[in-house]
Chain A
Amino acid sequence: MKMDLLTSLYVFMLAAFIGFEVIRQISPLLHTPLMSLTNALDAIAVVGAILLTGEHRSTLSTILGALAIVAATSNVVGGFLITDRMLKMFKSSSPKK
């Protein structure tokens, strides 16, 4: 358990560093689609909600889990959809020939 916790903290730290490095390079042009994309990715919390609902450990946990799935899934679907719609609109004035 102690080891697991430490590993998780390492993972968190490294992921945060990767996040900072990668996101710093993203052009301000795309900051709105970036936010909707990270929002969709963040909805990966749905996997936790799925397990919670499916394991059916108590009535309360199943109800809360199912509600959580609804909320997260709408973020997954809506988030990817709107990100793609926004990115589709970004066109360059010098089309590659």
Chain B
Amino acid sequence: MTAWLGTDTFIEIIYLIATALFIFALVWMRTPATARRGVRAGEIGMLLAIGGTLLNHNIIEYKWIAIALVLGSIIGVPLGMVHMTAVPQRTALSHAFGAFCVTLVGTAEFYLRAPAVPPFMMSVLSMEVILGALTFTGSLMAAGKLQEILPQRPITYKGQNLVNLLLLAVAIGIAAYLVHDPSRVHLFPLMLIIPLIFGVLMIIPIGGADMPTVISLLNSYAGLSAAAMGFVLDSKLLIIAGALDGASGLILSVNMSRAMNRSFSNVLFGAFGQEAIAGATAQQARPVRSATAEEAAAILGAASKVIIVPGYGMAVAQAQHKVRELYDALSKRGVDVKFAIHPVAGRMPGHMNVLLAEADIPYDKLLDMEEVNDEFPQADVALVIGANDVTNPAARNETSSPIYGMPILDVDKARTVMVIKRSMSPGFAGIDNPLYYLDKTLMLFGDAKSFVNSIVHELAGGHN
């Protein structure tokens, strides 16, 4: 009986069930109402798969497995409990961990099989190791930049892309040579080290505004490397999980690159961040209209429809809870308040939604770009908090602008535009925003959190 439990057929059936549960997990992620059920399905699938694997008769030593499982869980709990503002860097870090795992297994498998590795096996092994290694260091770099341990400014130099592509070409060349002659075992470490360096170099030119695309792309790479590992180990479960993750990352990357008006090949080759420099134009002092919190509160309080446009500045200032107070104060007065979320607002896909949900703002008030752009002409006020480029009307008609063609939120179609901003200095990309000089635009100078707080205060005072 117990012997039967450990048979390959039994374990494969468990894997089959786990695979189905994984697919259901993603199907249930479709809407917030069923999404938590999706997490449960994923958890059960994972427990089944791990439990089934432990039954395998080929396992002769459980000690190290047990120690590693416990240690991993101990590390995992704090990583699951990070503050919501730290989610982008946590995500990048977990891509690094996933890729680390895949790379280690690939390395071990190579040395166990060498020098006689069949060509197909060697091809997928190389793919697993190259993708895994570059995703590992790339994700660590991304996490470091997001955590601000590393400088966030993009670092660029002449011929950067050429150097990077050459490095990658050398790694692939070594892989091809190993496929041809796997007995050259001493070449393997080189095939490991070059992608590790490539991963670092790939992220060096990336600025903060490009992070949503980069994280999605690294997500996709992590999935593909896991799928390659599935080919190496002949595990359908792993192939499917990796393919699902790879597909998910790919879709998000395409979404992000569209939202930034970058071609997909541009994204695939990691050639981000160069346009940011081109955008720094000579700035002339043009008059802007500014307003105090009191004036802003009066206009907001008299409005019937307000659309709030949050950006990364809101996250940096930790202003989401104050924004929620503003939402409450205005809703109480019968003002219709909605939120306009640009796909690349923040540092990863969906970043703003999570922060606003954390502040208890109902998710049906959070509208994505396509839904909300028709509503701006009816809005009395569009309140921009810490967003810049995604509201820049130059993207619509100024062909010379570096962000020309990028889909934007039509903030300038609202009757009045208010922009909370620390100063007139241009945003991260260094591009001047003509929105600020419109007659209908009021600049609210100050820190997002304290300014929103002052508005809330004024609204409360005026009401009583």
Which residues of A line the B interface, CB within 8 A?
Answer: 1, 4-5, 8, 11-12, 15-16, 18-20, 22-58, 60-62, 64-94
Contact = CB atoms under 8 A, between A and B. Distances in A.
Interface in B199-253: 215-216, 219, 222-223, 226-227, 229-231, 233-252
B98 A91 contact: no
Contacts of A64: 104-105, 107-108
Interface stretch (B47-55, B180-188, B443-451): B47-55
Given A11-B239, A31-B252, A65 B91 contact: no
Contacts of A32: 87, 91, 348-351, 353-354
A43 B223 CA distance: 9
B368 A29 contact: yes
Given A19-B244, A65-B105, 9 more contacts: A29-B368, A42-B242, A45-B242, A48-B229, A51-B58, A54-B65, A74-B72, A78-B75, A94-B362
Interface in B348-367: 348-351, 353-354, 357-358, 360, 362-366
A66 B68 contact: yes
Interface in B68-104: 68-69, 71-73, 75-82, 84, 87, 90-91, 94-95, 97-98, 100-102, 104
Interface size range of chain B in the complex: 35 or more
Contacts, number: 367
B247 A19 contact: yes
A15 B350 contact: no
Contact of A39 (B222, B236, B247): B222
Contact of A68 (B56, B100, B243, B252): B100
Contact of B80 (A49, A52, A81): A81
Contacts of B354: 32-33, 86, 89
Given A11-B236, A45-B238, A54 B60 contact: yes
A76 B46 contact: yes
A70 B101 CA distance: 8
A12 B50 CA distance: 21
Given A29-B366, A30-B350, A76 B244 contact: no
15 contacts: A12-B231, A12-B240, A12-B243, A39-B94, A41-B46, A42-B245, A43-B97, A54-B61, A65-B104, A66-B67, A71-B97, A74-B94, A84-B36, A93-B365, A94-B364
A49 B241 contact: no
B222 A42 contact: yes
B247 A92 contact: no
Contacts of B341: 28
B109 A52 contact: yes
Contact of A78 (B56, B76, B368): B76
B357 A37 contact: no
Interface stretch (B37-45, B265-273, B303-311): B37-45
Contact of A29 (B56, B60, B72, B353): B353
B120 to A, nearest CB: 6
User: Chain B contact residues: over half helix, strand or loop, or mixed?
Assistant: helix
Given A45-B101, A58-B112, A82 B90 contact: yes
A83 B250 CA distance: 20
Contact of B100 (A29, A46, A71, A89): A71
Contacts of B75: 70, 73-74, 78
A37 B354 CA distance: 14
Contact of A70 (B72, B81, B216, B358): B72
A27 B427 CA distance: 28
Nearest to B250: A20
B256 to A, nearest CB: 9
B26 interface: yes
Contacts of B365: 93
Contacts of B348: 31-32, 35
Contacts of A49: 68, 101, 104-105
A27 B35 CA distance: 11
Contact of B22 (A41, A65, A69): A41
B157 interface: no
A55 B59 contact: yes
A23 B242 CA distance: 14
Contacts of B91: 32, 35-36, 39
A90 B35 contact: yes
B343 A23 contact: no
Contact of B362 (A35, A73, A93): A93
Given A38-B219, A68-B105, A46 B50 contact: yes
